[in-house]
Structure 1
Amino acid sequence: MAEMPSLSERALQIWKSGVRAVDSQSLVRNAIHVSEQELTVCGHTFPLKGHENLVVVGAGKAGSGMAAGVEAALAGSPLAERYRGWVNVPADCVRPLSKINLYPARPASLNEPTPEGVYGSRQILKMISELQQDDLCLVLISGGGSALLPAPLPPVTLEDKQAVTRLLMSSGATIQELNCVRKQISQVKGGRLAQAATCGTVIALIISDVVGDPLDIIASGPTVRDSSTPEEAIRILEQFAPDLHQIPESVWKVLRAHEEQPESSTAESQANVINEIIGSNATALAASEKTALELGFEVYSMGSANEGIAAAVGKELAELCLKIRDGQGPVHRPACILSGGEPVVDLSSTSRPGKGGRNQELVLAALERLWEEDMTGICLLSGGTDGEDGPTDAAGGIINAGILQQAQELQLNVDDFLQAHNAYPCLSQIRGLLKTGATQTNVMDLRVALIE
């Protein structure tokens, strides 16, 4: 009789089943069908006769798999010789494809715009601005697209944009607030990519990495008309910048110009634009729930809309594990708690944050809460479905009774690591890091807690 996998192995199995369900290549492959007469994308049909060429562009952490899905769908079809493309992806996601150029727009684990990203974005803009009316443009969008598709609106420079992005991220701004500002100073975000396309139809396939799947927020909505305003962006900057001189003058100049001429920032696209979400955190969560049930766990799902401060979320999750263990929770043992979404790390408590990410901080905070408890029969895992957590090579973290014992034997001061936002070296010492490598998808974070 085969030995029962450990609790940690089963938690990882449940987590991985969720990630597999949002495999970007499969999602795109299933969304596109080509016959001798027509192309169908998510139920929208286009006769091949009358549409000359297909151009594929995009950006995101899932871009490599999405582009491979397009190529798999078009292989052997009448469109096989009539398409080309360019997609900006992280450097560790580059692989050779037949007709679509996967361009390394930033290094792995550096979620910031780079000069390479600007170059790639310019190539995309050039490609779609030369299309004919009867061409089709397919845009592949996934999480991380904001940083991978940088095209600052002159006179804003990349350095100016980076300064603003870093200030907002380090001050605890939400992804919605960050994207509001980025859209107002970009040539592609907030629907401007679709505006630049000179063809008759733009179809966007989108893998969502934002709570609630708002089209205008995912990758800063390059194919969705911007609903935010320059006034909102100005208010956000005023809220998070202690000194307004920290914001480059070029940024104020662009925002004030749009404030005076709002129509310049909200122009409609000339093309017919179709936006379709093909995968989300809810997709992953449903697959994880199915696997947990198959493994004999009673499931308590907290849904896909969990936000908040990572350390607080970690402590709350640990409390819930203890309640279920003690028979006072919403489900009975053996139980599986599932949670999706994306908490944030508020770095404002230190001027020199250490190494880590929101999932690692969440798990370390849970470990601190469980320090005096018997963790036998409890395992908690939190990981980014993209395989990245902050500027590190880990997807997140995992804790169990053995890991807690190691931390205690080493007499680690977990609170010191938490205060310094330095979860990575702490978890590394106790083998609590979750390392998966790039997963070719991105639908926020997925947490699995098991209580036997």
Structure 2
Amino acid sequence: MSQTSSTAQRALQIWKAGVRAVDSETLVSRSIQVTDQDLTICGHTIPLQGHERLLVTGAGKAGSGMAAGVEAALRGSALADRTTGWVNVPADCVRPLSKIHLYPARPASLNEPTVEGVYGARQILQKMSNLQPDDICIVLISGGGSALLPAPLPPVTLEDKQLVTRLLMSSGATIQELNCVRKQISAVKGGRLAQAAGYRQLFALIISDIVGDPLDLIASGPTVADESTTQDALQVLQRFVSDPAQIPESVWSVLKSEQTPAHSQKPVRCATVFNHIIGSNATAVEAASEQALALGYEVYSLGSANEGTAADSGVELAELCMQLQAGTGPVHRPACILSGGEPVVDLSSSPHPGKGGRNQELVLAAMQRLWDEAISGFCILSGGTDGEDGPTDAAGGILDEFSLKRAHELKLDPALYLRDHNAYPFLAATDGLLKTGATQTNVMDLRVALVD
């Protein structure tokens, strides 16, 4: 943003404090301690005999920083020389590391499974199946892992899986519903990645990007025994798909077969698999709150479990700002409202949706609500903590009195852009895009609303 209010600058400062608190490299390096005698991971101590190999695998938008965190924790130790790894990450997160190979499993800003991702998943499965009895495996899991670690269950093809994923996303399915289906047509999700390691010691370090931090849903739970069933997946498809012919026959055949891995394979041995959440949206909200308090704001937190639609969330924040300015809000001015979670954009009513993401749509909906209001000294910022918002190069959007004024001067109609889910060009024209680049972490979205 070329011209911003001081309020918007403070909102960005608060948002960045939240993102820093979930820096993936720091979260991982703090979780691992090593000496010549033992390795400790999240409080679990493994005696070292001096010959064990450590394999590091995983997938997710935070995978690059997480892998760097492992290397930082092991640096200078004998175990570092016996460490190898392969982690699937977005292309813009690839960087050279000493021991762990970061593999570009999809292009930047394309949150869909790719041929490259399938190749990377097969490499990881092969490496895990080659583990020896004394070897140790660390799996690094973060948001975006579902798309970055695709291994369609035959006869389902990658194209079949992509079609189903797009169809469910465009129909307004929640991440939980989407993952339910993806797990049932995958060779790695729903605990099947852990099965590839046999009964070795496996430690999953997880950065959560889902409301409530459900282990079985984050990246579709590759190290967590699947509690959903093929029947659950069938019900999701039947709820969102009016014409069964839209779903490939291969998907129906896998889901209707009694010979799927959910029925035929042994469950994950929980005694040898340890899953630990090391960072979440609540961590980011807490850090943002501390920064806001340090800047002199009274804080009203809506917590980390906010879902619903992006447009409704934007209206809610706009109305809270109006209440605060009028002196009828839940706290006194200067006030900061914090909100975490992940709303959705329902594209089902728009045959040709435009360009944008949920955070951009949320900010545009807030602008529409405030369009005819006399409000100043405020800011509403909504951004994905991963630095990505939909298939765009923006993390989200920022609304303040300057961007609202620019929209009026340009005679833009927010209602038209909202109707077409086309927030990106609107915010680009009003200098309201939030661009951060990849942040190497991912704990859903963080929203900061200020009223001075």
Q: TM-score, normalised by structure 2?
A: 0.97
Report how many aligned residue pairs link the two structures. 449
Tell me which amino acid in the other structure corresponds to 2:139: V
Q: Which amino acid aligns with 2:65?
A: G
Paired amino acid for 2:191: G
Deviation at 1:353, TM superposition (A): 0.5
By how many angstroms is 1:268 displaced? 2.9
- Which amino acid counterpart does residue 26 of structure 1 have in structure 2? T
Q: Deviations over 1:164-193 (max 9, x none)?
A: 000000000000000000000000000000
Does 2:286 match 1:286?
yes
Where does residue 150 of structure 2 map in the other structure?
150
SS in 1 for 2:79: coil
Q: CA deviation at 1:262?
A: 4.9
- 1:220-275, Cα deviation, whole Å (9 max, x unpaired): 00000001000000011111111001110111111111378852266334870000
CA contact (8 A) 1:336 1:450 kept: yes
Aligned amino acid, residue 26 of structure 2: S
Aligned with 2:81: secondary structure? coil
The alignment status of 1:209 with 2:209, answered yes or no, reads yes
Match of 1:151, SS state, is coil
| CA apart distance, 1:73 | 0.6
- 1:318 is aligned to 318
Partner of 1:415: 415
| Secondary structure in structure 1 of the residue aligned to 2:49 | coil
Residue 381 of structure 1 contacts residue 398 of structure 1 at CA under 8 Å; is this kept in 2? yes
Note the alpha carbon deviations across 1:339-363, whole angstroms, 9 max, x for none: 0000000001111100000000000
What residue number does 1:380 align with? 380
SS in structure 1 at match of 2:154: coil
Q: Structure 1 residues 259, 365: closer, same or farther in 2, change over 3 A? A: farther
Q: Does 1:277 align with 2:277?
A: yes
TM-score if structure 1 supplies the norm length? 0.97
Q: Paired residue for 1:101? A: 101
Contact in 1 for aligned 2:90/2:106 (Cα 8 Å): yes
Q: State the partner residue of 1:114.
A: 114
Using the TM superposition, give the Cα deviation of residue 373 of structure 1 relative to its aligned residue in structure 2, in angstroms: 1.1
Deviates more, 1:60-69 or 1:265-274: 265-274
Provide, for residues 320-349 of structure 1, a one-character-per-residue CA deviation record: whole Å limited to 9, x for no partner: 110011011100000000000000000011
Distance 1:23 1:356 in 2: 25
CA distance in 1, matches of 2:259, 2:316: 43
Is residue 2:84 matched to residue 1:79? no
Secondary structure, aligned partner of 1:449: strand
Asked if structure 2 preserves the Cα contact closer than 8 Å seen for 1:310 and 1:361, the reply is: yes
State the partner residue of 1:130: 130
* Counterpart contact for 2:131–2:200, Cα < 8 Å: no
1:224 is matched with which residue? 224
Deviates more, 1:278-287 or 1:4-13: 4-13
Structure 2 match to 1:308: 308
Note if contact 1:298-1:335 (Cα within 8 Å) is conserved in structure 2.
yes
Q: 1:12 aligns to what?
A: 12
CA distance in 2, matches of 1:148, 1:207: 15
Kept in 1: contact 2:386–2:438 (CA 8 A): yes
Q: 1:261 to 1:70 in 2, by over 3 A?
A: closer
How far apart in 1 are the matches of 2:308 and 2:88?
A: 30
Structure 1, gaps ≥5 residues long = none
- Residue-by-residue CA offset, 1:1-47 (whole Å, 9 max, x unaligned): xxx98111100000000000000000000000001210001100001
Contact 2:224 2:268 in 1 (8 A): no
Matched letter for residue 84 of structure 1: T
- 1:312 match: secondary structure: helix
* Deviation of the 1:120 alpha carbon: 0.2
Q: Cα gap change, 1:373/1:157 in structure 2, threshold over 3 Å: closer, same or farther?
A: same
Counterpart of 2:325, as a letter, is: R
Unaligned runs of 5+ in 2: none
CA-based RMSD: 1.4
Distance in 2, Cα, partners of 1:399 & 1:429: 12
